[in-house]
Amino acid sequence: MSAELIGAAAMLASAFFHSFVGLLTKQAEDKLVFRSVLMLTAAIISAPALFLFPPPPPEAWRFLIAGMGIHFVFQMAMISAFQRGDMNLVYPVMRGAAPAMAGIAALVFLRESLGWVEIAGLTIATLAILGVSWPDSHRIPKAKALAFAFLAAGMTALYSVNDASGVRATGNAISYLAWFFLLTAWPITLASLVRRGRAWPAIARSELSRGIKAGLVGAASYAFALYALSIAAVAPMAAMRETSVIFGAILAAFVLKEPFGLRRIILAILLAAGLVLLQVG
C-alpha cells in the first residue's frame, strides 16, 4: 500500500475515534466527572514523556498557561451543550463551526485572500451548520445547547491556534503535549471535585470504565492523526479528519437512537464536504 492510502486509513480511524469520544461523553451520566477521568487518563498516558524529553522553554509556557484556561472553557461548554441537546444537533456544530469561524475571521479581520476552493468550502460549511441548527417541523433545537456548542467551537479554534504556537515555541510536539495534558487535567478535575464534593469518588468509580476508555481512544485518535500527517500530504490528511462529523451522525442515529432524519444526514455530509474543501484549499 502507498503512503497516501495508509495515511488515509489512519486519518479515517482518527476521525472515527474522535466521534466515538463524543459518543462516550454524551452517554456519561455525570459528564463533568467523566471528563475529569478522561483528562487524568490522558495525563497518565503521556506522563513518561515528561522524563524522556526536555521541558518546554520559557517562551512556550505562556501558551501552556493560556491553554489551561481556554481548554477549561471548552470542556465546560462542551459538557453544557451535551447536557442540553442531542448529539446529532450539537456535535456537528462543535466540530464544524471551529474551522468555519477561523476561515471567516481570516477573511474579515485579517484580510486574508481565500481561493475559490476555500470560499466554496467555507460557504458550504457555514450554510450546512445553519441548516443543522435550523428548526424543523418536528422539533425546535434548544437555543442554549446551540449557544454552548458555538462557544465550544470558538474555544476549539482558539486553542488550536494557541497550541500550534506553543508546539512551535517548544520545538517538540511530544514534550509540549505531555505538559499540556498534565496541566489541562487539573482545572476540570478541581471543578468536578468542588461541585461533587464527597460524592466525587463514588461517581468517579461509576464513570471510571467509560472515562479510561475515552482517554485511551482519544489518545489513539491523536496518534493516528499524527502518524497520517507524518507520512502523507498535510492538506488532504487534515481534510479527511473532518469526516468525524459524518461518523458522529451515524453514531447518534444508530447507537443513541436519536431521530436524525434525511435532512440532517444530507447536511452532515455537506458539512464534511465543505470542511474538506476548506482544508484542501
Mean pLDDT of 48-72: 93
Give the whole-angstrom CA distance, residue 11 versus residue 24.
Answer: 20
Give the whole-angstrom CA distance, residue 268 versus residue 127.
Answer: 11
| Strand, coil or helix: 28 | coil
pLDDT of residue 235: 60
Highest mean pLDDT, choosing among 61-65, 159-163, 260-264: 61-65
pLDDT of residue 162: 84
pLDDT of residue 192: 96
Burial annotation 44-57 (CB, 10 A radius, 16+ → b, else e): ebbeebeeebeebe
Weakest-pLDDT range from 18-32, 66-80, 260-274: 260-274
Weakest-pLDDT range from 39-53, 125-139, 243-257: 125-139
Q: Is residue 81 left, alpha or beta, with left meaning phi > 0 and alpha meaning psi from -120 to 50?
A: alpha
Mean pLDDT of 170-181: 87
